[in-house]
Amino acid sequence: MASSSFSLYPSLTLVAVLLLLFPVRQTAGSCYTSIFSFGDSITDTGNLLLSTGDNCLSGRLPYGETFFGRPTGRFSDGRLIIDFIAEAMGIPFLPPSLRLRGGDCGGFQRGVNFAVAGATVLNNGFFRERGLDVTWTNMSLGVQIGLFKKLISLCDTERKDTFSRSLFVVGEIGGNDYNHGFLQSWSVEEAKSLVPHVINTISTAINDLIDMGAKTLLVPGNFPVGCIAAFLTYYENSKIEDYNTSTGCINWLNEFSEYHNNILKLELNRLRYIHPHTTIIYADYFNAVMNIVSPANSTRHERVPLVACCGSGGGRYNYGKNISCGSENSTVCDDPPTYLSWDGMHFTEATYKAIAKGILEGPFADPSINKACSSSNIGYVVKELAINVSKAD
């Protein structure tokens, strides 16, 4: 595999240092003792790799090169947002659920990851009915929730106690529902017609998890799709009005992402109202990424490139459908931490680390995980104090 340094932007060493030196403070270990996660390739820690073997590009170098030194099935050069959250809580990296097939329940009490790369919220039949060529996994959000229900029936006889002190991460998911359509020439209007179906299905999954005992849920919104190299390549044109002059992102795609996110936030507010004893955290992935690419960010003295670090070796954004990162003729940059994008569809470890910091500590979560954790700890301490006082009486 060739190595290539791109000259589209000046040296970004300072940006790399800023991203990598973000301190991610560790959350109190007594707050969340496990994590259960659902989603797509943004969160997948190996499920697609386990199901496809060598046919999965994330099972080949340079995937995983920055942190693990080998491919793990993660679609990045290193750790994902979910990995940084687990590290901050003192929890081991989440095992992919397919590793627990056959009733192997080892480590279940510390959490499991059900996310699968390519997964959608809606099932594949929904897309076939609308004329899309379905080539992706059938592990939709509903299927993942179903597998979770099967696994807990086998592995957890004390789930009420386990789940009350667990963090449930529902997403990011929904991006692929729109991405698959956009990459098959859907209009914005067609994509918008999906949004109510996607949001309602996410809401149903959240309700199901609450009914099973979940007390704290983290629900991310969608990323700014207009800043992603694959879409910048697919919709590349000479219309200046399509692009944000400050960031280089495509305006109408980002506006669509915000449309989805605004409706999701409204639904989460409704769920908070009907589940007042449950903490539902909205993770603002959109603005966490825009904070990185925005020249207005005072911590950035160089422009963060939108070009993919690993890709086809050509084109404005180093992304090509026929030559993907990990394939024989792909190229990889020398300094992944200086890039926003890893392979044109997914981000670098440095980007994921910056996002995770904003989710754990703020300002890109409402409330931040650490604040939710502190509130949870207060409640836990008060409960223990009441028990001790009762015993003393």
Active site residues: 41, 343, 346
Cis peptide bond N-terminal to 363, omega within 30: yes
Alpha carbons 116 and 119: distance in angstroms, whole number:
6
Alpha carbons 29 and 373: distance in angstroms, whole number:
10
In whole angstroms, how far apart are CA 73 and each of 64, 78, 220, 283? 8, 10, 21, 24
Residue 49's nearest CA partner among 33, 38, 37, 63 is: 63
DSSP string, 216-278: EEEEE----GGGSHHHHHHT--S-GGGB-TTT--BHHHHHHHHHHHHHHHHHHHHHHHH-TTS
Alpha carbons 38 and 113: distance in angstroms, whole number:
6
Tokens at 73, concatenated: 């099935």
CB atoms within 10 A of CB 185: 8
Q: DSSP 3-state assignment of 124?
A: helix
Alpha carbons 99 and 151: distance in angstroms, whole number:
12
Residue 208 host element (H or E): helix 188-211
Distant-in-sequence, close-in-space partners of 288: CB < 8 Å, separation ≥ 6: 354, 355, 358, 359, 364
Pairing of strands 111-113, 34-38: parallel
Q: DSSP 3-state assignment of 43?
A: coil
